[in-house]
């Protein structure tokens, strides 16, 4: 009997609905989004509400102490709007202070990695521009679950247990996230009354309840006591920015990403490099297909390490980096028969972590791709008392070598890994999607587009297909790729493909949990399609 879904790796069929759709990595978040849509909310209300629920039930990937980015298709204006709601470094911390402390690299956890949380301001800015329900109503499902408790599913429970081993001794962490002295196990209820109070205040007072008043004073006092440099003044000065998304065409489809300080343009660079090859003719999962993906990634990430940074502090050659001409120049460095061993950045003309992503759509045609993260799983570990969230450790991604684009500076945004994505065709919205997971994200974005466009996979199949992830490329902290890095392959690729990649001198390996998590909503033939991949606990649903 033929498979209904077409591809052997597909976990299920797509979800299809007429009026609205939501896809997240937690069923309760998806249901909260659909409930808000059914109550008269729009896709932005649903995205905020779902994210707030995930801050409770999936703190392993997101939280009020983290950052946020979003792409919103506005049907009235027939265009995409982009929001950068990432926070900046503390104004009172400097390279000189790191030198005085004898720190040569910012630690992954603890007080020196903390930067300003941008999530709540991002919610408020999105809601002010697009929201239809009150913010209090949007946050109501999260408040209710935070008080009543929500059961923790399997993948999140696994990640929570891993984080507990690393962060359990950080100030305040156990009080909020280790009830009874341990991480919640699968199926166990988790309550967070501090988060419920914080969300209620934000719903009633907006950003002022988070970036001022009692919450800001609590964060300030906690940071002073624990050696972190974040202060009330940093919170008060924080602002999110509406930015223009950037794009490239790939075989007639437009992929849209946000410009730096994020890494989204790496996906655009990869697709520009790969457009010259007949990937469809090579076949999905062939050695040629995976080899070219890997080599394109190396070239894009070399540029990522050299050029991607906060544009308020450094000149980013954005147009040149994502141009077809530059891709043609760089493509000449790809050897179709041998893996590159050392990859240097190009010269365009100058004039890890964990995350959640979600997609929503409404009856008016509005579509949202939102991504939110604490960076490394649950963040720095520093958890201010009574507020219900952990401060992010995004500051780890700064470079402490002076004079580089991503070198640390006070009140500067660090290089960012989290990136929402959007596909259009002929100027019309097609797919709002994301693929969480640190350095995996631009590699995953490129693979999703190729799966949809070159291989003709359905929306669910495009995410369920086995992935490759290359590690060891140049890092934004100035580290260079050596020895060609490692090509990690998910199960599902043929053994002869692995042998051929090894012959081409790839260092082939495997890694548990390294392949990201995809959520997507597509508009086609007047209806919505939803996909939520099997690597996470989530679901897509609509009505």
Residues belonging to the active site: 355
Distance of CA 180 to the CA centre of its chain: 31
Residues 6+ apart with CB under 8 A from 99: none
Q: Identify the residue whose tokens are 């590699």.
A: 443
Contacts of 161 by beta carbon, 8 Å cutoff, 6+ apart: 183, 185
Give the residues across from 407 on adjacent strands: 399
- Residue located via tokens 């065709």: 425
Unique residue bearing structure tokens 């050596």? 482
Q: What ranges make up the beta strands (E) of 285-366?
A: 354-361
Alpha-carbon gap, residue 150 to 53, rounded angstroms? 10
Q: How far is CA 160 from the centre of its chain?
A: 18
Phi–psi pair at 228, nearest 5 degrees? -85, 160
Instruction: Say how many C-beta atoms besides its own lie within 10 A of residue 498's C-beta.
Output: 17
- Nearest 5 degrees, angle CA 172-CA 27-CA 149? 40
Contacts of 481-484 with C-beta under 8 Å, sequence gap 24+, read: 481/298, 481/301, 481/302, 481/342, 481/343, 482/341, 482/342, 483/341, 483/507, 484/298, 484/339, 484/340, 484/341, 484/342
The alpha carbon of residue 423 and the mean position of all alpha carbons in its chain are separated, in whole angstroms, by 16
Partners of 517 in beta bridges: 436
First to last CA, the chain: 30
Kindly state the DSSP code that residue 399 receives in the 8-state scheme: B
The count of C-alpha atoms lying within 13 angstroms of the C-alpha of 99, restricted to the half-sphere facing its C-beta, is 8
CA of residue 66 relative to chain centroid, distance: 11
**C-alpha 70: how far from its chain's center?**
10
Closest CA to 355 of 309, 419, 265: 419
Q: Which helix (H) or strand (E) holds 274?
A: helix 265-274
Angle at which helices 43-57 and 27-38 cross, to 10°:
150
For 209, the token pair is 């309840």
Rounded CA separation 71/149 (Å): 31
Angle of the 193-205 helix axis to the 119-130 helix axis, nearest 10: 40
Could you tell me how many residues make up the chain? 543
Q: Are 379 and 55 in contact (CB under 8 A)?
A: no
* Angle formed by the axes of helices 43-57 and 193-205, nearest 10°: 160
Cα distance between residue 295 and residue 507, in whole Å = 13
């Amino acid at each position: 009997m033929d498979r209904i879904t077409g591809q052997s790796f597909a976990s299920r069929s797509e979800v299809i609905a007429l009026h609205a759709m939501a896809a997240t990595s937690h069923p309760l978040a998806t249901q909260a989004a659909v409930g808000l849509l059914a109550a008269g909310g729009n896709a932005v209300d649903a995205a905020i509400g779902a994210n707030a629920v995930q801050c409770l039930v999936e703190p392993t990937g997101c939280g009020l102490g983290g950052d946020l980015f979003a792409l919103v298709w506005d049907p009235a204006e027939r265009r995409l709007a982009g929001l950068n709601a990432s926070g900046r470094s503390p104004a009172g911390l400097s390279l000189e202070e790191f030198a005085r402390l004898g720190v040569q690299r910012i630690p992954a956890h603890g007080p020196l990695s903390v930067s300003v949380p941008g999530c709540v301001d991002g919610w408020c800015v999105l809601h002010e521009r697009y929201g239809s329900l009150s913010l209090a109503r949007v946050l109501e499902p999260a408040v209710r679950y935070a008080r009543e408790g929500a059961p923790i599913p399997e993948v999140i429970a696994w990640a929570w247990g891993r984080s507990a081993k690393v962060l359990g001794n950080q100030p305040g962490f156990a009080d909020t996230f280790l009830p009874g002295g341990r991480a919640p196990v699968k199926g166990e209820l988790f309550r967070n009354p501090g988060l419920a109070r914080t969300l209620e205040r934000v719903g009633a007072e907006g950003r002022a309840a988070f970036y001022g008043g009692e919450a800001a004073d609590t964060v300030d006092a906690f940071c002073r006591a624990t050696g972190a440099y974040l202060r009330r003044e940093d919170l008060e000065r924080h602002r999110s920015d509406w930015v223009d998304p950037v794009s490239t065409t790939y075989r007639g489809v437009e992929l849209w990403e946000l410009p730096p300080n994020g890494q989204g343009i790496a996906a655009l660079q990869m697709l520009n490099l790969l457009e010259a090859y007949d990937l469809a003719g090579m076949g999905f999962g062939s050695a040629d297909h995976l080899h070219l993906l890997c080599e394109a990634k190396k070239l894009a990430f070399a540029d990522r390490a050299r050029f991607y940074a906060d544009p308020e502090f450094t000149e980013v050659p954005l147009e040149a980096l994502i141009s077809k001409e530059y891709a043609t120049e760089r493509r000449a460095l790809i050897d179709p028969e041998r893996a590159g061993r050392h990859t240097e950045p190009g010269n365009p003309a100058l004039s890890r972590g964990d995350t959640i992503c979600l997609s929503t759509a409404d009856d008016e045609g509005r579509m949202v791709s939102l991504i939110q993260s604490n960076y490394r799983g649950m963040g720095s570990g520093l958890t201010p008392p009574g507020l219900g969230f952990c401060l992010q450790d995004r500051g780890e991604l700064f470079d402490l070598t002076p004079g580089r684009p991503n070198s640390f500076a006070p009140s500067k945004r660090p290089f960012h890994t989290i990136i929402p994505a959007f596909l259009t065709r002929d100027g019309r919205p097609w797919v709002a999607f994301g693929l969480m997971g640190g350095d995996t994200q631009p590699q995953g974005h490129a693979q999703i587009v190729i799966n949809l466009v070159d291989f003709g996979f359905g929306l669910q199949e495009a995410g369920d297909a086995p992935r490759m992830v290359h590690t060891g490329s140049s890092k934004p902290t100035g580290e260079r790729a050596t020895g060609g890095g490692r090509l990690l392959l998910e199960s599902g690729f043929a053994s002869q493909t692995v042998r051929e990649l090894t012959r081409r001198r790839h260092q082939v390996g495997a890694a548990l949990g390294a392949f990201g998590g995809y959520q997507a909503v597509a508009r086609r033939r007047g209806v919505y399609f939803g996909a939520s991949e099997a690597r996470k606990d989530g679901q897509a649903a609509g009505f």
